[in-house]
């Protein structure tokens, strides 16, 4: 994929991996639309990296439709969707509630599915192929204590990704799953970024991984990429 002038829509773009990825893609010459729920923070990031902001909840079907309407008005089409928006909750299995599942799955699973379906329809209509990058987690590869809800949502995203790959390859639409392990971000910290740690992954490293996958020539694809800290302990 040629990133210069590529039309990219990225959810969860106001913090962490999304923010770093949007900035890197802008540096490469892409036209980038970023979304997030918190308008003030989103607009500051958009101004800093010259991206186009859309205040929206990726887990709200009405917001999903509005997101694509505004993005298409701005971009004139679409070449890539990056499903980065995600939320999490953690606790022992006996403490998990239905509300926990509904809140996390609404964004991590249902929202990602709605966004991907809408993007795939646009790609097929354009007839020029396209790219969908789902940001998963190594929590979707192996469970861990306290991870019942979050890991389940990432296992679900991994399963959906594999299904979409089989459905969309014949339309030259590449669907990629990127699984970061622990990254020093604001995830689970109410928007407060963590300090970088020498033994943890950085958002920039994940952004470079996403960019490298996208830059592969369109004749090939990377179905899944997992990025682990060498020695996180």
> What pLDDT shows up at residue 116?
98
Q: List the domain boundaries for the chain.
A: 7-227
> What pLDDT shows up at residue 190?
60
Fold of 7-227: Rossmann fold (3.40.50)
pLDDT in tens, 184-202: 765 554 656 667 788 889 9
Contact predicate 8/69, CB 8 Å: no
- Name the catalytic one among 105, 110, 123, 150: 150
Known catalytic residue: 150? yes
Alpha helices in the chain (DSSP H): 16-27, 39-49, 61-75, 98-105, 112-126, 148-168, 203-215
What pTM was computed for the model? Answer: 0.94
pLDDT in tens, 126-141: 999 999 999 999 999 9
């Amino acid at each position: 994929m040629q990133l210069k002038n590529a039309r990219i829509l990225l959810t969860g773009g106001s913090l962490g991996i999304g923010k770093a990825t949007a900035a890197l893609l802008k540096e490469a010459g892409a036209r980038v639309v970023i979304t997030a729920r918190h308008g003030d923070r989103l607009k500051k990031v958009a101004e800093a990296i010259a991206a186009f902001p859309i205040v929206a909840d990726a887990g709200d079907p009405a917001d999903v439709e509005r997101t694509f309407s505004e993005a298409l008005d701005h971009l004139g089409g679409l070449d890539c969707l990056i499903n980065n928006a995600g939320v999490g909750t953690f606790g022992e299995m006996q403490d998990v509630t239905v509300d926990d599942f509904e809140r996390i799955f609404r964004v991590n699973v249902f929202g990602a599915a709605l966004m991907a379906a809408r993007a795939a329809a646009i790609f097929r209509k354009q007839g020029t192929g396209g790219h969908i990058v789902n940001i998963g987690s190594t929590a979707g590869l192996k469970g861990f204590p306290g991870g019942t809800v979050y890991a389940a949502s990432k296992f679900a995203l991994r399963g959906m990704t594999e299904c979409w790959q089989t459905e969309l390859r014949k339309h030259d639409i590449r669907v990629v799953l990127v699984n970061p392990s622990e990254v020093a971000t604001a995830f689970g910290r109410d928007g407060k970024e963590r300090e970088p740690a020498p033994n943890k992954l950085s958002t920039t490293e994940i952004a470079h991984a996403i960019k490298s996958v996208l830059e592969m020539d369109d004749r090939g694809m990377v179905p899944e990429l997992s990025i682990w800290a060498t020695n996180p302990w």
